[in-house]
Amino acid sequence: MIVVMRIDCSQDEISRVANRIEDAGLKAYIPHGIGHIVVVGVVGQPVPGLRDALESLPGVEQVIPVSKPYKLASREFHPQDTIVDLDGVAVGGDEIVVMAGPCAVESEDQLFTTAQAVQAAGATVLRGGAYKPRTSPYEFRGLGEVGLRLLAQVGDETQMPVVTEVMAVEDIDLVAQYADILQIGSRNMQNYVLLDEVGRTRKPVLLKRGMACNVQEWLLAAEYLLVQGNEQVILCERGIRTFENYARNTMDINAIPIVQKLSHLPIIADPSHATGKWYLVPPLALAAVAAGADGLLIEVHPDPDLALADGPQSLTFDNFRLLMSQLRPLAEARNRKLAIPRARVKP
Ligand code: PEP
Ligand code: MN
């Protein structure tokens, strides 16, 4: 349920509405940046009579029921697009934001050369995993805190915000010390305890779609973050499991315009994990931007054959540059442009 307040309502009237909602055992949620009207979201199971009670309070314009199970993530609740600001890089606005880097941080040299190459080609955010969810326990599982330190160092040197995965509640504080964006991976999209705790931070979150989850389940996962007060949520379509097994996953391009219709949250696409094959990454990246994605997450490695994780889906520097040159005119065709790197790498 959404309570729309009159434009001239007072702070006291807003507080009275919020108190009435809390008295009914529900949560009142007043988002930032909603526009010229003040909206109070009511989150929780419906309480008989509450709608009438709220409608009769002073300062209230109208009370609108939200039909979707996800409330704060819905466009009904928040009609304007949310723009997530990553310290100067805006995701969800006019610009297409490309986040690129290796699957896993392996060494300073690997990360720094990749950061330089992707930034020179036009990427504005550096990615790299330090805690890696691997299907087999015998595979490389990341450098942990050493990897986080390298990420923060290279992010500073290149002035790129960094995104990295947090897999466990007990790691959140540590990862948040080093990262600009906390990534919740596909396997953890329904780890509700992790979502609650990441929602309590005020760090931007990249929420990947669970590989076996539908759009509604994904938006409900985003709701967990939003209801804890973290409004800086970026969704990431990374492919879902289907009967087709040529590619690692099937990229659900439908999900991009569907999410944009249902939700105000920005959505980017990860064609690397969606396809698992480097030569499928450029066409799917272009398709995602053509479908309206707000950005891309792409794995790039100096020598994919030697990568400790996800080499087969990683682009070489040359292939990444080529993709970026193809993206520019496509972004323009959608009336958008590629975000400009904030700063060149220091000599
Ligand atoms: C990743 O981005 O490295 C990753 C593991 O992604 P996903 O959770 O989509 O598999
Ligand atoms: Mn990967």
Q: Looking at domain 2-64, which of 3.40.30.10, 3.30.70.1140, 2.60.120.380, 1.10.10.10 is its CATH number?
A: 3.30.70.1140
- Residue 345 has what pLDDT? 41
133 in ligand 1 pocket by Cβ < 6 Å? Answer: yes
Write phi, then psi, for 120 (nearest 5 degrees). Answer: -60, -30
> Half-sphere exposure (CA, 13 Å, Cβ side) for 209?
31
- Cα Rg of the chain (Å, integer): 21
Handedness of CA 323, 237, 309, 344 (dihedral sign): positive
122 in ligand 1 pocket by Cβ < 6 Å? Answer: no
- Bridge pairing between strands 2-5 and 39-43: antiparallel
209 in ligand 1 pocket by Cβ < 6 Å? Answer: no
Q: Are 319 and 326 within 8 A, CB to CB?
A: no
* CA of 32 relative to ligand 2 center, distance in Å: 34
Q: State the Cα torsion 189-141-270-167 to the nearest 10°.
A: 20
How far apart CA 304 and CA 308 sit, in angstroms, is: 9
- Residue 1 has what pLDDT? 84
Q: Where are the alpha helices (DSSP H) in 179-266?
A: 192-200, 215-227, 255-262
* CA of 177 relative to ligand 2 center, distance in Å: 22
Ligand 1 atom with the smallest distance to the CA of 129 is: 3
| 63 Rama sector, left if φ>0, alpha if ψ -120 to 50, beta otherwise | beta
pLDDT less than 70: residues of the chain: 32-38, 342-347
248 in ligand 1 pocket by Cβ < 6 Å? Answer: no
DSSP assignment of 306-340 equals G-SS-GGGPBPHHHHHHHHHHHHHHHHHTT-EEPP
Among 125, 186, 299, which is best to mutate for testing ligand 1, by the most ligand atoms less than 8 A from CB? Answer: 186
* CA of 134 relative to ligand 1 center, distance in Å: 9
239 in ligand 1 pocket by Cβ < 6 Å? Answer: no
Q: Looking at domain 84-338, which of 3.40.50.1370, 3.30.413.10, 3.30.450.40, 3.20.20.70 is its CATH number?
A: 3.20.20.70
Handedness of CA 44, 198, 131, 344 (dihedral sign): positive
238 in ligand 1 pocket by Cβ < 6 Å? Answer: yes
Residue type, 339: A
Q: Which ligand is nearest to the CA of 270?
A: 1
Write phi, then psi, for 136 (nearest 5 degrees). Answer: -105, 135
Residues of the chain with CATH 3.20.20.70: 84-338
Measured by CA distance, the residue closest to atom 9 of ligand 1 is: 186
Q: Are 132 and 141 within 8 A, CB to CB?
A: yes
How far apart CA 170 and CA 36 sit, in angstroms, is: 40
185 in ligand 1 pocket by Cβ < 6 Å? Answer: yes
Residues of the chain with CATH 3.30.70.1140: 2-64
How far apart CA 235 and CA 302 sit, in angstroms, is: 27
Write down the pTM of the prediction.
Answer: 0.92
